[in-house]
């Protein structure tokens, strides 16, 4: 097989019941493409037979190879994506697809992704979802908060395709939320929509708390915008505090009216709120600058497992 043009990165964790059906379906999709592809399955420290089953898979399509890489321990979904992309950089691929390995992302969308040549990023937007009503309501609330803070709509997850230019930015910078990080890149992008499917095996391993934490991590990628809210609040309250102080002084100096007790309490509250907003802004700015320095940028933490079929 010739060197791959498309690399598909698929993080997996404890997917022993889903990994083989997922790889079979994924290969069937890639086999219809007219270019060589490599599947990079990232085992995120699975505690079941995910790794062994993945290593047993042998593609039958002439244009598809597979490489299984393993993380030393469970490092989390986002780090698994990063390590998979880091390995993919060493291949000859020019385009890189990230897809979850549990079957909820429809591999069939890769055919449309591969046909798009005029965008550096193509997101696979989420259509209908199979989750509970409570989860869907929480997701809509999250989208509202994200739009309020970031000024953008987020209707997609990790499922996306990027080119080498964006890959360089991904590997050079720190990210804690891949989709939100991509949404900030100033490159041509577009969205296609696919419905979210049911998992191939079992239930989601993320509880409501974990999902909520993951969702709000996206706001870390927009830390400057979050800090700007505190700065604006400080400036607005400074103006209100100044006007209130001038009003109180004016009443005391130029009139015989008594100063209401609540006016002093309001002024003190505004002043304390100003200090809090300013403190949040300064501390947050320092933390954001620190977070942008990725300590492990470019560090290969994965192990390339023998027995996989590698791109030549």
Per-residue confidence at 118, pLDDT binned at 50, 70, 90?
very high
The b/e string for 81-92 (b: 16+ C-beta within 10 A; e otherwise) is bbbbbbbbbebe
231 or 93: which carries more pLDDT confidence? Answer: 93
Instruction: Report yes or no on 301 lying in a domain.
Output: no
pLDDT score for 27: 97
203 and 257 in a single domain? The answer is no
154 and 38 in a single domain? The answer is yes
pLDDT score for 311: 47
Among candidate residues 207, 222, 237, the one where a domain is terminated:
222
- pLDDT of residue 185 exceeding 70: yes
* pLDDT average, residue stretch 45-61: 95
pLDDT score for 96: 98
pLDDT in tens, 84-113: 999 999 999 999 999 999 889 999 999 999
The values of phi and psi at residue 174, to 5°, are: -90, 140
Instruction: Report yes or no on 89 lying in a domain.
Output: yes
Angle at 130 between CA 126 and CA 136, to 5 degrees: 70
Look at residue 185 and give its three-state secondary structure.
coil
DSSP 8-state symbol, 71: -
93 or 150: which carries more pLDDT confidence? Answer: 93
14 and 129 in a single domain? The answer is yes
Tell me the two tokens of residue 212: 């909520």
Rg of the chain (C-alpha set): 25
pLDDT score for 291: 54
pTM summary value: 0.76
Q: Are strands 156-163 and 37-43 parallel, antiparallel or unpaired?
A: unpaired
- pLDDT of residue 161 exceeding 50: yes
Lowest mean pLDDT among 77-86, 124-133, 284-293: 284-293
DSSP 8-state symbol, 311: P
pLDDT score for 243: 78
245 and 268 in a single domain? The answer is yes
* pLDDT average, residue stretch 308-312: 54
- pLDDT of residue 277 exceeding 70: no
Alpha helix positions (H), the chain:
19-31, 50-56, 77-89, 109-115, 133-150, 164-172, 178-183, 208-217, 223-254, 261-291
* pLDDT average, residue stretch 196-207: 71
| Distances, alpha carbon 62 to alpha carbons 6, 7, 9, in Å | 14, 15, 19
Distance, CA of 304 to CA of 191 (rounded, Å)? 33
Overall number of domains in the chain:
2
20 and 65 in a single domain? The answer is yes
- Contact at 8 Å (CB) between 176 and 221? yes
- pLDDT of residue 75 exceeding 80: yes
Report the phi/psi class of residue 90: left, alpha or beta, with left for phi > 0 and alpha for psi in -120 to 50.
alpha
pLDDT score for 5: 95
240 or 292: which carries more pLDDT confidence? Answer: 240
Contacts for 268-277: CB closer than 8 Å, 24+ residues apart:
270/237, 270/240, 270/241, 270/244, 271/241, 273/233, 273/237, 274/234, 274/237, 274/238, 274/241, 277/230, 277/231, 277/233, 277/234, 277/237
93 or 129: which carries more pLDDT confidence? Answer: 93
Instruction: Report yes or no on 310 lying in a domain.
Output: no
212 and 105 in a single domain? The answer is yes
Instruction: Report yes or no on 53 lying in a domain.
Output: yes
- Range from 2-6, 103-107, 222-226, 236-240 that averages highest in pLDDT: 103-107
Query: Residue 173: which domain range?
Result: 6-222
Tell me the pLDDT of the chain averaged across its residues: 82
Among candidate residues 222, 237, 254, the one where a domain is terminated:
222
Instruction: Report yes or no on 303 lying in a domain.
Output: no
Largest CA distance in the chain: 93
Per-residue confidence at 235, pLDDT binned at 50, 70, 90?
confident
Taking the CA atoms of residue 261, residue 265, residue 268 and residue 269 in that order, the dihedral angle to the nearest 10 degrees is: -160
CATH of the domain at 209: 3.90.550.10
Distance, CA of 151 to CA of 132 (rounded, Å)? 27
Look at residue 150 and give its three-state secondary structure.
helix
């Amino acid at each position: 097989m010739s060197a791959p043009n498309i690399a598909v990165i698929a993080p997996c964790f404890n997917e022993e019941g889903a990994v083989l059906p997922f790889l079979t379906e994924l290969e069937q999709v890639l086999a219809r493409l007219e270019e060589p592809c490599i599947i990079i399955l990232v085992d995120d420290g699975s505690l079941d037979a995910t790794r062994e089953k993945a290593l047993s898979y042998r593609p039958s399509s002439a244009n598809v190879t597979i490489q299984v890489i393993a993380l030393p321990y469970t490092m989390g979904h986002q780090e698994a994506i990063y390590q998979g992309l880091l390995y993919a950089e060493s291949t000859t691929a020019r385009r890189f697809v990230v897809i979850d390995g549990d079957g909820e992302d429809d591999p069939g969308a890769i055919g449309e992704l591969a046909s798009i040549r005029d965008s550096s990023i193509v997101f696979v937007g989420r259509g209908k979802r199979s989750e509970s009503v409570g989860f869907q309501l929480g997701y809509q609330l999250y989208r509202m908060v994200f739009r309020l803070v970031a000024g953008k709509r987020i209707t997609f997850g990790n499922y996306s395709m990027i080119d080498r230019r964006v890959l360089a930015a991904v590997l050079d910078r720190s990210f804690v939320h891949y989709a939100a990080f991509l949404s900030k890149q100033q490159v041509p992008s577009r969205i296609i929509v696919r419905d979210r499917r049911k998992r191939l095996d079992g239930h989601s391993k993320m509880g409501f708390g974990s999902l909520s934490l993951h969702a709000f991590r996206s706001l870390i990628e927009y830390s400057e915008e979050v800090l700007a809210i505190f700065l604006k609040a400080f400036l607005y309250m400074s103006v209100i505090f100044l006007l209130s102080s001038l009003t109180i002084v004016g009443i005391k100096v130029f009139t015989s009216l008594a100063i209401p007790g609540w006016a002093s309490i309001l002024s003190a509250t505004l002043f304390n709120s100003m200090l809090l907003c300013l403190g949040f802004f300064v501390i947050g700015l320092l933390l954001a600058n620190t977070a942008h320095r990725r300590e492990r940028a470019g560090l290969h933490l994965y192990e390339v497992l023998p027995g996989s079929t590698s791109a030549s």
